[in-house]
Structure 1
Amino acid sequence: MTRDGARVGQSLYRPEPVYGLLGMALPKFIVGMIFALSIVVAWSWLGGASIGTTLIRVIICAIIIQAGYFVLVYAMIARSPPTPADMARDAERKLNAPEVAEGEKLGSARRSLH
């Protein structure tokens, strides 16, 4: 570890892989989705459902799984701390923004109306 918290030989800008419940990678998701859909197909076949019913069940299951994955990824992004690039961009925006007092904003708007 260096004094800025990065591991030796690791770039600050390269994200580390995240493991655990919220760190689901796409290949792991695809394998899990195929497994879940195969269970739906087996359940439908053993239950004597028609091909149309089986297809509808698989499509509904796939949509629910995809929506859940989307929500999971969105939650991971929303909860993630800002990156150094985000902080640098925010600092640059603050430096480049013209400083205008609140009263001047309203006053210029009022003048433009008359």
Structure 2
Amino acid sequence: MANGEILGWVSRRFCMLGLVDGSSAMSLPKFIIGMIFALAIVVAWSYADGASLGTALVRVVVCAVIIQVGYFLLIYVMVARSAPTSADKAREAERSLNADKATEGEKFSARRSIH
């Protein structure tokens, strides 16, 4: 199966958020399954603790928020630390060329405008 091939309505590339430099550290399906298991453990702990339904719900919500924030930070760090792609390098080179041309054009136009 190709990396960008469509699986139902979700592309495989979307599901493989953890792919950075060819290593699959954490994919979206793995994250969701892990989160469900973690929340199930929190529910079991709350039940064993004899907590009320409201307390158990608060514990599950707090746990889910902590997991989501941690996953977001993990993905952010992985993307921030990844090496620039060839498209990024080409885009940066094009920007520097356009900046040089604009600066050069401004120099000539300033000289011409002096009367």
> TM-score scaled by structure 1?
0.69
Structure 1 residue aligned with 2:72 = 70
Structure 1 residue aligned with 2:51 = 49
Deviations along 1:47-93, one digit per CA (max 9) or x if unpaired, are: 10010000000000000000000000000000000011100100000
Displacement of 1:99 = 2.6
Which structure's relative contact order is higher, taking Cα pairs within 8 Å and 6+ residues apart?
Answer: 1
Unaligned runs of 5+ in 2: 1-12, 14-18, 111-115
Displacement of 1:18 = 1.8
Structure 2 residue aligned with 1:58 = 60
Structure 2 residue aligned with 1:89 = 91
Structure 2 residue aligned with 1:38 = 40
- CA distance in structure 2 between the aligned counterparts of 1:74 and 1:60, rounded to whole angstroms: 21
Structure 2 SS opposite 1:99? helix
Displacement of 1:17 = 4.3
Tell me whether 1:99 sits opposite 2:103 in the alignment: yes
Structure 2 residue aligned with 1:18, among 4, 12, 23? Answer: 23
- CA distance in structure 2 between the aligned counterparts of 1:25 and 1:58, rounded to whole angstroms: 22
Identity %: 62
- 1:27 is aligned with what amino acid? P
- CA distance in structure 2 between the aligned counterparts of 1:74 and 1:92, rounded to whole angstroms: 26
Structure 2 residue aligned with 1:7 = none
Structure 1 SS opposite 2:103? coil
- CA distance in structure 1 between the aligned counterparts of 2:22 and 2:40, rounded to whole angstroms: 29
Give the alignment's Cα RMSD to 1 decimal. Answer: 2.1
Hey, which of these two has a bigger chunk of strand by percent? 2
Hey, which of these two has a bigger chunk of helix by percent? 2
- The size of the alignment, in residue pairs, is 86
